[in-house]
Amino acid sequence: MSISKIGVIGAGLMGNGIAHAALTAGFDVILVDAFEAALPKALATMTKNMDRQVAKGSLTAEAKTAALARLVTSTDYHQLKDADIVIEAVPEQLEIKKAIYDELAPVLKPEVLLASNTSSISITKLATLSGRPDKFIGMHFFNPVPMMKLVEITRGMATSDETEATVHKLAEKLGKTVAAAQDSPGFIVNRILCPMLNEAIFALHEGVGTVQSIDAGMKLGASHPMGPLELADFIGLDTLLSVMRVLHAELGEDKYRPAPLLVKYVEAGWLGRKSGRGFYDYSTTPPTPPK
């Protein structure tokens, strides 16, 4: 199957990043979000990030103009009727994803592929909810999508060989390296990464170290480019909590129990960079831990 037009559902951090990567790779993109206000914000983000690429010489000004000209934004799922593949990139809540799949069912062509950018939810479960399990697959990108080279591709139990092969080729055309992952909670990266971030939050709560010492310890002692608390803020503490809850529920082991401090931060609305406060206060330059 040939892919030329890509639909992306969700204009947030991941959705606009996926759209950006697809546009600069030469694809036509339809970006759909239920909230109209999210669309100009996504366009502004893409434009700013493409301007950075132009300034660095990794994208020409002409290529940027051509890329943005291939973008259509809408709140109407019917705009996706001509898409060859639709990539869903909405929050990690099963009921939200199911509602979207229900709305897509009468709109999409029978042959259209459907991928989810889920970072932790069972692909087999989502495929069943989609009503097209043979044409459903997991396609998990990493933030920031235009820069990060990895995409995890995960088959559900009913995913066809043709679907997997088509999506694998698409990922390569997007300039990504594929890591094939089994349909297990958290797949590869989040199964390993998120418990580490969660453990760092336990260590902070128990007074093992401060925010600065924990992050410095892992950056300087383990050569991590970002400390675990800084990375948790970057990912979004609500996203981290969602992943930990899935791991805990699906795997049933206490080592996956979300740190109580993580739960409290999310309840307080302290979600990290996107809310302006998490383990760091982003109103300061450089960001510093709040007192």
* 152 a catalytic residue: yes
Domain that holds residue 26: 5-181
Catalytic choice (16, 116, 119, 130): 119
- Out of 132, 156, 181, pick the residue that ends a domain: 181
Residue holding tokens 């795997």?
251
* 168 a catalytic residue: no
- Out of 152, 181, 210, pick the residue that ends a domain: 181
Residue 145 in tokens:
């999508």
Tell me: do 135 and 18 sit in the same domain.
yes
Tell me: do 121 and 207 sit in the same domain.
no
The CATH number that applies at residue 253 is 1.10.1040.10
* 140 a catalytic residue: yes
DSSP letter at 44 equals H
Tell me: do 86 and 132 sit in the same domain.
yes
State residue 120's pLDDT score: 87
Q: Are 33 and 157 in contact (CB under 8 A)?
A: no
Bridge partners, residue 288, by sequence: 281
Residue holding tokens 């020409």?
60
Read off the pLDDT of each residue in 210-231 and give the average, rounded to a whole number. 98
Tell me: do 216 and 151 sit in the same domain.
no
* 190 a catalytic residue: yes
- Out of 145, 164, 181, pick the residue that ends a domain: 181
Residue 177 covered by a domain? yes
Tell me: do 160 and 240 sit in the same domain.
no
Tell me: do 133 and 102 sit in the same domain.
yes
Residue 214 covered by a domain? yes
The CATH number that applies at residue 52 is 3.40.50.720
Catalytic choice (16, 92, 130, 152): 152
State residue 185's pLDDT score: 92
State residue 291's pLDDT score: 79
Cβ within 8 Å of residue 209, ≥6 positions away: 203, 217
Tell me: do 168 and 195 sit in the same domain.
no
**Per the structure, how many domains does the chain have?**
2
pTM over 0.85: yes
The share of the chain scoring above pLDDT 70, in percent, equals: 100
Catalytic choice (190, 198, 230, 242): 190
pLDDT tens digits for 157-188? 999 999 999 999 999 999 999 999 999 999 99
